[in-house]
Chains A and B, each alone.
Chain A
Amino acid sequence: MSVRLEGDLIFLEGRCTAEESEMLLIALRDRPGLAIDASGLTRAHLAVVQVLLALKPEIRLPPADRILAEIIMDQ
C-alpha cells in the first residue's frame, strides 16, 4: 500500500496510483491537519498530485525526485 496513515502523517511511498488519490482526498478532507511525508515517493499519478495541490497539506518531507518535488512543493 503506498498511501499509509500513521499518527498525524500520511506516508506516500513507492508508486501512488490514480485509485489512491480518492483515499488521500478522503483522509485529508476528514483531517485537514494531516501532513505528508513524501520522502519514499518515487512516482505519483497526476490524480494524486492534483489532490495535493488543491488541498495544500503541509509537506514535511519532499520526494527525492527533483521534478516531482518541485511540482508538489510549488504551491
Chain B
Amino acid sequence: MDELLEQFLLEGRDLVAQASADFVALGQRADDAVAIDSAFRAIHTLKGSVAIFALHPAERILHAAEDLLERAKKSGAAIEPDALAALVACIDRIDHWIDDIERDGSLPEDAASVSDRLVAAFLTHSRDTMPSSPASAAPASPDESAWTMALLERQEAAHDGARALAAFRYTPDPDCFFRGEDPLAIAMAVPEILVLSVRPAGGAWPAHDAIEPFACTSILEGLSAADVETVRGALRLVHDQATVTAVDTRRDSGAALPERDGKSADMLRVSAARVDALADGLGELIVAVNAMAGLAETANGVDRVLAANVRAVQAGLEKVTGRLHRDVSAVRAVSLESALRRLPRLVREIAESLGKQVRLTIEGEELEVDKQIADAMFEPLLHLLRNAIDHGAEPPEQRLASGKVVECLISLRFKRAGDSVMAILSDDGRGIDPARIREVAVERGLRNRDEAEALSDAAALRLIFVPGFSTAETVTSVSGRGVGMDAVQAVIERLRGTIDVESALGAGTTFRMRLPVSALTTRLLVVEAGSGRYGIALDQILETVRIENDALKAVGSGQACVLRGRTVPVVSLGALLGDDAPDHPVARMLVTQAAGDRVAVRVDRFSERLDAFVRPSAGLLASVPGVTGSTLMGDGSVLLVLDLPELLA
C-alpha cells in the first residue's frame, strides 16, 4: 500500500477516535470548551488529510463540521443536541469511509449523495442557531482563530520553539497591481518571517478561463517571529488592508495543543513487525540464558567455584533480560483505546438497525496491554455487544413498561488485576433465563432432559458457550451470523483467558473476561506424561495436587476425584496424547478449567517452571489440536506447549 495512504489510515483513525471522545465529552457537558477545541483540531487536521487524497465528499462534510465547531468555539455557546448528532454522524461516516478506502482504495459510489445529506443537516442547524449565538467579542475578522491556527500548524511542522509570534493577514485591494504594488514583496519584507501562505480571496482560485492576470485575487497570511509592532511597521503602507495579531504559542502549546505537541515531538510510529523482531530476538536471548543453568550444573561436577561463578553470571543475565523483557513488553503495549475505537460507532449502528436505544459507556480503556491481546479482544467484545443489544436490550416501550430508563445501559469496564486485565461487560437488559437455556439445550440435543434439569442456574448459563447453541428465536442479521458464543470463548481461551457469565432475569447480564496483559513470554510448567515432556502455561493451571491413587473413583468409563468438596473428572494426559501412562501409587494432577468446568489432568511428574517465549505453531504443527506452539529449551530440545482447554474439548 502507498505509504502516504497507510499513514493517512493510521492517523485518520486516531483523529476520528479523538473527535469521537470529544463528542462523548460534549454529550456530558455541551459547552465543554476543551472538548470543542480538541474536536475542532481533530476535524481540522482530518480535513487537511482528506484533501491530500482528493476525497471531496469527505472534505465537504468535515468542512461543515469544522465550521460548526469553530462558531461554537468563538461564541462560547453550547453544542445543541441536534448539532452534536450531526457531528457524530459526520465522524461515523468518515470512520466508515476510512474503512472503505482501506478495503477498496476509494470512497463508495453513494459518497457524494451521503455527503450532501450530512452537509444539509449541518446547514439546517447553522441557520437555526446562528442568530441566537452571542455576539463574538473578538475584535478581528470572524474566522481569525482558524487562519492563525492553520499558520501555527505549518509553523509547528517547521520549528518547534515555543515563543510569542505575530500573525498577519493581508488582503490586498484587487486593483493594486495596476498601481505597481507587489503584495508578495511587501509580505516577504516582513522581518523574521516563518510561514507565508497565499490563498484565494474568494475561497477558490478562478476557473482557468476566468483568470485575470492583473487582478489581485489573493490573501496573504503569514507568521513572523518578530513582535507585533515590528510587523505592523513593515505593513504600515498597507495598514488598511492588513491585520496583525499576537499569537502566544507558549499558551497554545500549553493549553490547547498538549497532545499534538507530545505526539509529534516524542512519539515514534514503529511498524509492529520491527517490534516483533525485537521480541523474537529477546526470546532467543532468554533461551540462551536458560541454557546457562545446565552449564552451571555441569560445571558443578568439575569445579565448584567455577559453577558458582557461572551461576552468578547467569543471575546477572537473568536480571538484565528480565528488565529488557519488561521494556519490550512496554513497547508492544498499546492502550485498549486504539483497539476499541470503532466499538462506539458500531454499537450505535447495531442499535439503530434493531430499533433499540442503548447507551454505551467505556471505562478504563486507557489500560495498556500487549498489542496482540488488544487486537484479538475486539471481535469477541463486538460479538458480546451485538448480543447485548440484540438479545439483552428490550425495545424502548417494553423498558418503559418495566420501569427502566428508555436507553439500555451497557457498560464496558477494564481493570488491571495482577498480570491480567479484566474486561467486564454489563447490560441492564432482560437478562438470560436459565430455564429457557435448559429448554433450548434439550431441543438442540446438547443435553438430555435429566442432565439439563440437574444443572445449576450458573451451569445452565454456561451452556450458551457450547457450540451449536443459539437462543435467538429468529436469526437476525445482527447476531445470527453463524458465530456463536462458542467462538467468543474459543478466542478468549486461545489468548489464555477465561470468560464467565452472570445474569439476573429482568435485571441484566454481565460477562467477565480475564486476559493476560502480556503475551510475550509465558510462565510454563514442564510436565512429563507417557514418554514426553510438555509445557503448560501456568495461567491455565488453577492448582496442582497430589493424591493417593486410592482416592480416585471410577465413574462410568472414566475417573473422578473429590477436590475441596467438589467432584472433578480426572483425565490422563498420557492417554489424551495416545501414550500409556505408567501406574504410580500417587496421582499427580494439575487442575484446569475447560469450558467453565474444573478438570484434573493427571501427569507422571511435575518438572521445572520456566519463562519461555512460545512460538505459535506453524506448518504441520498448526493443524494439531491442543498444541499452542513450541519453545526452544536451553539444551536445544524443543518443548511442545499444550493448550489444555482445547485438548480437553
Contact with B along A18-33 (1 / 0, CB 8 A): 1001100100010000
- Chain B CB within 8 A of A47 CB: yes
| Interface-central residue, B196, B197, B205, B213, by most chain A CB under 10 Å | B213
Once the chains bind, are B188 and A25 in contact (CB under 8 Å)? no
Residues of A in contact, count (CB < 8 Å): 21
* Chain B residue contacts of A74, Cβ below 8 A: 197-198
**Which single member of A18, A53, A70 contacts B214 (CB below 8 Å)?**
A18
The residue of chain A having its C-beta at the shortest distance from the C-beta of B194 within the complex is A67
**Roughly how many angstroms separate A43 CA and B208 CA in the complex, as a whole number?**
24
- Per-residue A-contact encoding for B193-233, CB less than 8 Å = 1, 0 else: 10111101000011011010110111010000000000000
A61 at the interface (CB under 8 A from B): no
| B208 A55 Cβ-Cβ under 8 A | yes
Q: In the assembled complex, how far is the CB of residue B158 from the closest CB belonging to chain A, in whole angstroms? A: 9
| CB atoms of A50 and B185 under 8 A apart | no
> Is A46 a contact partner of B216 (Cβ separation < 8 A)?
yes
List chain A residues, Cβ under 8 A from B196: 67, 70-71
User: Which residues of B (156-201) have their CB < 8 Å from a CB of A?
Assistant: 172, 177, 182-185, 188, 193, 195-198, 200
Asked whether A60 is an interface residue with its Cβ less than 8 Å from the other chain, the reply is no
Contact among B182, B193, B195, B208 for A46, CB-based, below 8 A: B182
A4 in contact (CB, < 8 A)? no
Which residue of chain B has its CB nearest to the CB of A52? B198
Alpha-carbon distance between A45 and B214 when the two chains are bound, in angstroms: 11
A40-75 interface with B by 8 A CB criterion: 43-47, 49-51, 53-55, 67-68, 70-71, 74
> Taking CB as reference atom, which chain A residue is nearest B198?
A71
| Chain A residues in 8 Å Cβ range of B220 | 46
- The answer to whether A45 and B198 have CB atoms under 8 Å apart is no
Contacts of B184 in A (CB 8 A): 44-46, 49, 71
Could you tell me if A54 and B205 are in contact, using CB atoms closer than 8 angstroms?
yes
For the complex, what is the distance from the CA of A22 to the CA of B184, rounded to whole Å?
A: 17
Chain A residues near B218 (CB, 8 Å)? 46, 49-50, 53
In the complex, which residues of chain B have a beta carbon less than 8 angstroms from the beta carbon of A29? 208-209
Shortest Cβ distance from A26 into B: residue: B213
Alpha-carbon separation in the docked complex, A46 to B220 (Å)? 10
Residue of A nearest to B184 (CB): A46
A71 contact set on B, CB distance < 8 A = 184, 196-198
| Alpha-carbon separation in the docked complex, A45 to B218 (Å) | 12
Name the B residues within 8 Å of A46 (CB-CB). 172, 177, 182-185, 198, 216, 218, 220
Complexed CA–CA distance, A49 and B182 (Å): 11
Within 8 Å CB of A44, what residues of B? Answer: 184
In Å, the complex CA distance between A49 and B184 comes to: 9
From A43, A45, A50, contact of B217 by CB (8 A): A50
Chain A contacts of B208 at CB under 8 A?
A: 29, 54-55
Are A43 and B185 neighbours in the complex by a CB distance under 8 Å? yes
Q: Nearest Cβ in chain B — how far from A17, in angstroms?
A: 9
In Å, the complex CA distance between A45 and B213 comes to 11
Asked whether, in the complex, the Cβ of B211 is within 8 Å of the Cβ of A51, the reply is yes
- Minimum CB–CB distance for A1 against chain B, Å: 17
A66 to B217, CA, bound (A): 23
Residues of B within 8 A of A53 (CB): 198, 200, 205, 218
> In the bound complex, do residue A67 and residue B193 qualify as a contact, i.e. CB atoms below 8 Å apart?
yes
Q: Known contacts A21-B213, A51-B211, A67-B196: does B185 contact A45 (CB below 8 Å)?
A: yes
Please measure, in the bound complex, the distance between the C-alpha atom of A18 and the C-alpha atom of B182, giving whole angstroms.
8
A25 to B209, CA, bound (A): 10
Assembled-state Cα–Cα distance A41/B193 (Å): 19
Give Cα distance in the complex from A45 to B184, angstroms: 6
Contact call B213/A25, Cβ cutoff below 8 A: yes
Bound-state Cα–Cα, A74 to B216, Å: 18
**For A67, what are the chain B residues with a Cβ–Cβ distance below 8 Å?**
188, 193, 195-196
Q: Which residue of B lies closest to A25 (CB)?
A: B213
A68 to B193, CA, bound (A): 11
Q: A18-B177, A46-B198, A47-B177 are in contact. Are A54 and B188 (CB under 8 A)?
A: no
**Which of A54, A55, A70 has the most CB atoms of chain B within a 10 A radius of its CB?**
A54
- CB contact between A49 and one of B172, B198, B209, B214 (< 8 Å): that residue: B198
**A54 & B197 in contact (Cβ 8 Å cutoff):** no
B188 and A50 form a contact (CB under 8 A): no
Contact A54 B182, beta carbon cutoff 8 Å:
no
Alpha-carbon separation in the docked complex, A25 to B206 (Å): 13
Contact B216–A45 (Cβ < 8 Å):
no
Contacts of B248-285 to chain A: CB distance below 8 A: none
**What is the minimal beta-carbon distance from B184 to any residue of chain A, in angstroms?**
4
Which A residues are CB-close (under 8 A) to B205? 50, 53-54
CB neighbours of A50 from chain B (8 A)? 198, 205, 211, 213, 216-218
**Which A residues lie within 8 Å of B214 (CB)?**
18, 21-22, 47
What is the CA–CA distance of A61 and B365 in the complex, to the nearest angstrom? 48
Query: What residues on A are CB-neighbors of B197 within 8 Å?
Result: 70-71, 74
* CB pair B177 A54 closer than 8 Å: no
Quote the shortest CB–CB distance from B222 to chain A (angstroms): 9
Chain B min CB distance to A20 (Å): 9
Q: For the A-B complex with A55-B211, A71-B198 known, give 18 more contacts whose Cβ atoms are closer than 8 Å.
A: A18-B213, A18-B214, A21-B214, A29-B208, A29-B209, A45-B185, A46-B172, A46-B220, A47-B214, A49-B198, A50-B205, A50-B211, A50-B213, A50-B217, A53-B198, A54-B211, A67-B193, A68-B188
Q: List 20 A-B contacts (CB under 8 A).
A: A18-B182, A25-B211, A29-B209, A44-B184, A45-B182, A46-B184, A46-B198, A47-B213, A47-B214, A49-B218, A50-B213, A50-B217, A51-B213, A53-B198, A54-B205, A54-B208, A55-B208, A67-B195, A71-B198, A74-B197
Residues in chain B within 8 A of chain A (CB atoms): 172, 177, 182-185, 188, 193, 195-198, 200, 205-206, 208-209, 211, 213-214, 216-218, 220
8 pairs of A and B residues whose beta carbons are closest in the complex: A54-B205, A46-B184, A21-B213, A22-B213, A45-B182, A46-B183, A25-B213, A67-B196
